[in-house]
Amino acid sequence: MKVLAFNSSPRMEKGNTALILTPFLEGMREAGAEDELFYTRKLKINSCTGEFNCWLKNPGKCYQDDDMNLLYPKLREADILVFATPVYVDGVSGPMKNLMDRMLPLLQPFCELRDGHCRHPLREGNEHGKVVLVSNSGFWEMDNFDPLLVHMKAFCKNASRQFAGALLRPHGPELRRMMKMGLPIDDILEAAKEAGRQLVKNGKMSSETLKIISRELMPLETYVQILNTSFARASLQKL
Ligand SMILES: Cc1cc2nc3c(=O)[nH]c(=O)nc-3n(C[C@H](O)[C@H](O)[C@H](O)COP(=O)(O)O)c2cc1C
């Protein structure tokens, strides 16, 4: 089973998104999957220029010469795609959106009706693989992920892929701080690993496991206080 993962946090392995992505990939590896991880920050992925060259002039190929050329064969073969992104202004980060937009050459230009809805079928040679979202938000509430979930589910319908679920970590920055302080958060990291094992072994992740990953770290009011205190301290240090 081939797993292709992208982390679009500009903070890469030092970021909060990586804290959940790393054990998730470990779990999949333990269950026998082969994984490959790319940081979009290290890749050159231009934005789509919207000429539809990949549909009209040169079917299935983008005319742009950048790192998507390296990724297209991998995207075609992947059984599981993992999109890991921090919440940026209520959506995926910019580089992740570029990557998703540039997947257009994998689709045919023709429309078919599926459940009474227009869809572009995948071109031949593409796996109808699964998609997992791994995301991290600065705000406390779970509903900060709603726009990303709607987007990712719609993307899967359009790209003829199956949405396999999401590993969501609200008030994410606290996780690293609590880890550094030696506070008990191992259940969260273990649940991320377990979700990886489950996905490879059973083809799905249990809602109980995903709930542990998103569990409350502290009450909302405490989080707001800590956040404001640390911002105030950081501003004072600059004076
Ligand atoms: C440009 C920018 C926009 C952000 N927008 C949101 C947002 O809309 N909602 C939210 O909950 N957090 C938002 N955040 C906070 C990040 O999602 C949060 O800090 C996350 O843990 C960062 O993950 P990382 O360390 O992997 O990059 C934003 C951060 C940045 C830099």
pLDDT tens string 161-189: 999 999 999 999 999 999 999 999 999 99
List b or e across 96-120, with b for residues whose CB sees 16 or more CB atoms inside 10 angstroms. bbbbbebbbbbbbeeeeeeeeeebb
DSSP string of 1-41, one letter each residue:
-EEEEEE--TTGGGSHHHHHHHHHHHHHHHTT-EEEEEEGG
pLDDT above 90: residue 159: no
Q: How far is the CA of 171 from the centre of ligand 1 (A)?
A: 10
The confidence band for 232, taking pLDDT boundaries of 50, 70 and 90, is: very high
Q: What ligand 1 atom has the least distance to the C-alpha of 15?
A: 25
> Is pLDDT larger for residue 64 or for residue 239?
64
Instruction: Specify the pLDDT at position 203.
Output: 96
pLDDT above 80: residue 158: yes
Residue nearest to atom 31 of ligand 1 (CA): 88
The chain-wide mean pLDDT, for the chain, equals 96
CA dihedral (152, 89, 104, 18) positive or negative: negative
CA nearest neighbour of 84 among 140, 24, 161, 125? 24
pLDDT tens string 22-45: 999 999 999 999 999 999 999 999
Instruction: Specify the pLDDT at position 134.
Output: 98
Q: What ligand 1 atom has the least distance to the C-alpha of 91?
A: 8
Share of the chain above pLDDT 90, in %: 92
Ligand 1 first shell, C-beta below 6 A = 9, 11, 15-17, 86-90, 136-139, 144, 172-173
Other CB atoms within 10 Å distance of the CB of residue 31: 17
Instruction: Specify the pLDDT at position 238.
Output: 73
The confidence band for 128, taking pLDDT boundaries of 50, 70 and 90, is: confident
Q: What ligand 1 atom has the least distance to the C-alpha of 9?
A: 27
Q: Which helix (H) or strand (E) holds 132?
A: strand 130-136
Task: Supply 58's token pair.
Answer: 């040169």
Task: Supply 93's token pair.
Answer: 């980060």
What span, in angstroms and rounded, lies between the C-alpha atoms of 80 and 122? 16
pLDDT tens string 95-111: 999 999 999 999 999 99
Q: How far is the CA of 162 from the centre of ligand 1 (A)?
A: 26
Helix pair angle (173-180, 16-30), 10° resolution: 80
pLDDT above 90: residue 126: no
Helix pair angle (173-180, 220-238), 10° resolution: 80
Instruction: Specify the pLDDT at position 82.
Output: 98
What span, in angstroms and rounded, lies between the C-alpha atoms of 179 and 183? 6
